Amino acid sequence: MDKVHFTRAPKAKELEQVLKNGNTIYLTKSAKQRLSDKAKKKIKDSGAELVIESARGRPIELNLQTISEIVELHKDHRTFREIEKITGISKSTAHYLIKYAERNKIKKGKKVVYL
């Protein structure tokens, strides 16, 4: 194993075990910011390569009209099961969209839609 990916900032002891093999370390941007000074020094002294990765979720594959329709149905006090029957979108996806629509905006690629 020559690649190790951390989603959270590792402790110095965890890094010590990984760095014995001279691995490449992959970190998210926020994990790198939370690294302790001791951990940063161990990485630097070992000569291991530190790579910053951007982990993003799967994009929403619905058109904006459908998303707006789901939000409007929810505002009309429809249940998620009813929204599922009307739109054909699963209730879990509808719940996800409503949860993020409560922020009053949804990002679709580079476009921001205000609901």
Rounded average pLDDT per 10-residue block, the chain, 115 residues: 76 82 80 88 84 72 85 92 94 89 70 68
Residue 106: its H or E element: strand 105-108
Q: For residue 89, what pLDDT is reported?
A: 92
- How buried is residue 17: exposed, middle or buried, by Cβ count under 10 Å (0-12/13-18/19+)? exposed
What is the secondary structure of 6-32 as a DSSP string? Answer: ESSPPPHHHHHHHHTTT-EEEEEHHHH
pTM, entire model = 0.47
- CA dist., res. 42 & res. 28, Å (int): 18
b/e code 89-101 from CB counts within 10 Å (16+ = b): beeebbeebbebb
- In the chain, the amino acid numbered 31 is A
Q: For residue 23, what pLDDT is reported?
A: 72
8-state DSSP, 97: H
Q: For residue 83, what pLDDT is reported?
A: 94
By three-state DSSP, how is residue 114 classified? Answer: strand
- CA dist., res. 102 & res. 31, Å (int): 28
Q: For residue 28, what pLDDT is reported?
A: 84
